[in-house]
Structure 1
Amino acid sequence: MPLDRERAVNEIEGFLLWEAEKDRARSRARAFCDGLPWLTDAQRWEVERRYCQDRRDTSRAYLERIAVRSAALRTEYEGVYRALRRRLLTAVLSGTVAVAALLTVAAVGLAGR
């Protein structure tokens, strides 16, 4: 998938996930207010609005922490992957040199007979 398409898909997915989070906040706010039957309509609206805003702020902060941690883990894992790749390449090259040396010694030994 081209990079621009991947980015667009990620943005759409993020938008849909955020909209779902806002819907959950509204549903929870309504359920919370249902437990407070004495609220006037204006009070209910204000409590729902504040509840939703608090929920969105909490969710945004949580997602930002996850994004920072994900970036840190990605950097860490990329470094580990590069180190492992270097070690593997070194081992393969060393093994290849060792096998070539053994074959050379064997060939020289057989030629000397």
Structure 2
Amino acid sequence: MSERIRTGEERIRESERDLDRAVNEIEGFLLWEAEKDRARTRAEAFCAGLPWLTDTQRQEVAVRYCQDQHETSRAYLQRIAVRSASLRTEYEGVYRVLRRRLVTACVSATAVAVALVTVAAAGLTR
């Protein structure tokens, strides 16, 4: 049984990732609850504009309005999540290319500097 022993730093990183996930879940929950509350408020405002509805009809309209709003919001959020993932992939690719270019430029500049110093040193020793 050769389980890899985690270092303190690895445990801290894992703990931070767990904390980040928990915060994201809480934030998502709170945002969704706010969206549901907003849908209820809009449904009530919509029903207020229909004064001829009975209380039962008003409740039914409000429930259906909220359901429709939830479905619309969920579809919208799913589209945003897909787009965010594609943008992340795209930006990570661009970042890799830029990082590679920067490293290449730094290595080239260092090589040029070393060559100039070598030439200058050779010129001084003559």
Aligned to 2:63: 49
User: Are 2:95 and 1:81 equivalent residues in the alignment?
Assistant: yes
Compute the RMSD of aligned alpha carbons: 0.8
Deviation at 1:41, TM superposition (A): 1.2
Structure 1 alignment gaps of length 5 or more: none
> Alpha-carbon deviations, 1:20-71, whole Å to 9, x = none?
0000000000010011111111111110000000000000000100000000
* TM-score, normalised relative to structure 2: 0.87
Q: Tell me the SS of whatever aligns to 1:37.
A: coil
TM-score using structure 1 length: 0.97
Aligned-partner SS, 1:36: coil
Percent identity over the alignment is 73
Listed as ranges, the matches of 1:1-113 within 5 Å are 2-112=16-126
CA distance in 2, matches of 1:53, 1:94: 61
In 2, the alpha carbon distance for the partners of 1:35 and 1:109 equals: 91
Count of residues paired in the alignment: 112
